[in-house]
Structure 1
Amino acid sequence: MTRTRWLDERERAAWRGFLEASHRVERALEQQLKEDAGLSHPQYEVLVRLADAPGRELRMTELARLLITSKSGLTYQIGQLEKRGHVRRRSCPTDVRGVFAQLTDQGYEALRQAAPGHVDAVRTALIDVLEPDELDVLARALGRVGHRLR
């Protein structure tokens, strides 16, 4: 049996700081998007990923992978966005089980209108709080964490 490596004081401080900051940033972004654009943060991220994709569309499985979410969770978000006319689904012509999500012009416009307020909220909650060298360290450190967990 492996012995547990408990967190020391420094490690606990880093872990607790990460948890608090990540939860508070997420809450601030969720609130801003709901109030200003009527979107949830996951819905906004769907719109961003589709806007960045060739032809403004992605297979649902690829979109779920990019968003690090379950297929069922993505299906729910796409359904909500579809009701608002922001996204449409279409069958994959080469795979009967495949489904594409495509950003509509209305969805692109909703994203275009939501983006400035969202960027301001990201700056307020995180980016402008940090010094340039801290941003570099944060990007490298969180990049390593993400890579390890992939």
Structure 2
Amino acid sequence: MSTDKNATRTDAPPAGPRWLNDEEQRVWRAYVHATTLLDDTLDRQLQRDAGMPHVYYGLLVQLAQAPGRKLRMTELAKNAKITRSRLSHAVARLEKNGWVRRQDCPSDKRGQNAFLTEEGYRILVQAAPGHVELVRRAMFDRLSSGQVRQLGEIMCTIADGLEPTGTGADLPWLR
């Protein structure tokens, strides 16, 4: 241990909140503002062009990319990072539209699979070009290739640090 009175111990918890400095506050507010605008823009476009919110589009994409176009409901909730209750409500709406069908899971009588119907796949194929064009215009066309690479690295670093570990975590898809 150092005898220097000005040295700080790295193993001691901070004495109080670690407030954001001016630059961190600016970046945080810009991030929140940009992601809120992006989420709203994507949601409005999908509602207008496909009659569904962005979260439903994400569920259809997951199912389209899954083997046999089906996933267990728990896996779908986990991948979407939403509660089982919210997923159940979303799948009920998608079923009402004829885009998804629930099936009992043959290997686990308590579980259910969500299955993307042909109509759901057709709607997804129709919605995808407009959605991808908006993502490109709203995000990637505004960035250089270096910025895209940096953003990818930054977002992966943040996601890796937030990825839940252990079975005791309070995870939305377990609620």
TM-score (structure 1 length as normaliser): 0.97
Alpha-carbon shift at residue 123 of structure 1 (Å)? 1.1
- Could you report, residue by residue, the CA deviation over 1:27-57 in whole angstroms, capped at 9, with x for unpaired residues? 0000000001111101100000000000000
Query: For 2:43 and 2:63, how far apart are their aligned partners in 1?
Result: 19
Unaligned segments of structure 1, at least 5 residues: none
Letter in 2 for 1:100: N
Q: Which residue is 1:11 aligned to? A: 24
Q: Calculate percent identity across the aligned residue pairs.
A: 43
In the alignment, what sits opposite 2:156?
143
1:28 counterpart residue number? 41
In the aligned structure 2, how far is the partner of 1:139 from the partner of 1:50? 24
Q: Give 1:92's aligned residue.
A: 105
User: 2:87 maps to what in 1?
Assistant: 74
What corresponds to 1:39 in structure 2?
52
One-letter amino acid of the structure 2 residue matched with residue 125 of structure 1: A
Aligned partners of 2:44, 2:95: CA distance in 1, in Å?
Answer: 22
Are 1:134 and 2:147 counterparts? yes
Higher-helix-fraction structure: 1
RMSD: 0.9
Q: Provide the residue aligned with 2:168 in structure 1.
A: none
SS of 2:110's equivalent in the other structure is strand
Report deviation, 1:18: 0.5
Q: Aligned partners of 2:134 and 2:73: how far apart in 1? A: 28
Distance 2:140 2:52 in 1: 22
Task: Find the aligned partners of 1:35 and 1:132 in 2 and give their Cα distance.
Answer: 30
CA distance in 2, matches of 1:40, 1:67: 13
Compare the two structures and name the one with the higher strand fraction. Answer: 1
User: Aligned partners of 2:159 and 2:141: how far apart in 1?
Assistant: 23
Q: Which runs of 4 or more aligned residues in structure 1 lie more than 4 Å from their structure 2 counterparts after TM superposition?
A: none
Aligned pairs, number:
150
Question: Quick check: which has more Rg, 1 or 2?
Answer: 2
Residues 83-120 of structure 1 deviation map (CA, whole Å, 9 limit, x = unaligned): 00000000011212100000000000000000000001
Please state whether the residue corresponding to 2:109 is helix, strand or coil.
strand
With structure 2 as the length reference, what TM-score do the two structures score?
Answer: 0.84
TM-superposed CA distance for 1:25, in Å, is 0.3
Q: Hey, what's the Cα distance between the residues in 2 that align with 1:141 and 1:111?
A: 29
